[in-house]
Structure 1
Amino acid sequence: MRVLMTVELDTQLTNKAITEGRLAAVMESVFERIRPEAAHFGAKDGMRTAYVVFDMENASDIPSVAEPFFQELNARIEFQPVMNLDDVRTGLQNFAAGR
């Protein structure tokens, strides 16, 4: 299932990770496993935030994706199912067909 993971990073721990050169390593360790379809970065509620879209095969994948951000950066994380345009089209066709 395609999900949007929103990762809000703790400012103080992220500052330290940047200074120590660890931030990229944390991100890359997760991204190598999940191979995101898209990853965008910005600010939300005054926090550094990553918006990452990827395919999550099983709910049991959540710990391996989230724990590096929790443990290294004291992040707040949300997972939300999302669709691309093709998914919406298929869903609407299925709806119209009564499936």
Structure 2
Amino acid sequence: MRLMMKFTIPVEKGNEAERDGTLVKAIAGLIEEVKAEASYFALEDGKRMGIIIFEETDQARMPKLNEPLFAALNASIEIQPVLTADDLQRAL
């Protein structure tokens, strides 16, 4: 199933993580772990925000994917299934 993980990082924790190298390590580790199809980064409500699109068949892996972001970045995380236009076309 294709999933979209959206995360936001509090400003102070993000600044600290950027200074000590934790920010890039945590995000690069996530992208590598899930073999991301796409990744996007922006600001949301003044906080660092990322969206990672990936395929996952084992829901039991979610804690392994979430915990590094929680622990290292104090991130808020949302995960939801998403469809491509082709997926939607087939469904309709």
TM-based fold match above 0.5: yes
Equivalent residue letter for 2:40: H
Which residue is 1:22 aligned to? 22
TM-score calculated relative to the size of structure 1:
0.87
Equivalent residue letter for 1:45: D
What is the RMSD computed on CA atoms of the aligned residues? 0.9
Residue 31 of structure 2 contacts residue 52 of structure 2 at CA under 8 Å; is this kept in 1?
Answer: no
**Larger mean Cα displacement after TM superposition, 75-84 or 58-67:** 58-67
Cα drift, residue 89 of structure 1: 1.3
Which residue is 1:3 aligned to? 3
Cα drift, residue 30 of structure 1: 1.4
Query: For the residues of structure 2 that align with 1:81 and 1:9, how far apart are their CA atoms?
Result: 21
3-state DSSP of counterpart to 1:90:
helix
Which residue is 1:83 aligned to? 83
Residue 22 of structure 2 contacts residue 72 of structure 2 at CA under 8 Å; is this kept in 1?
Answer: no
After superposing on structure 2, the runs of 4+ consecutive aligned residues of structure 1 that deviate more than 2 Å are none
Aligned residue pairs total 92
- Structure 2 spans left out of the alignment, 5+ residues: none
- Structure 1 spans left out of the alignment, 5+ residues: 93-99
The reply to whether residue 49 of structure 1 matches residue 41 of structure 2 is: no
| Per-residue Cα deviation, 1:18-48 (whole angstroms, up to 9, x for no partner) | 1112211111111111011110001112211
Query: For the residues of structure 2 that align with 1:10 and 1:57, how far apart are their CA atoms?
Result: 30
Percentage identity across paired residues of the two chains: 33
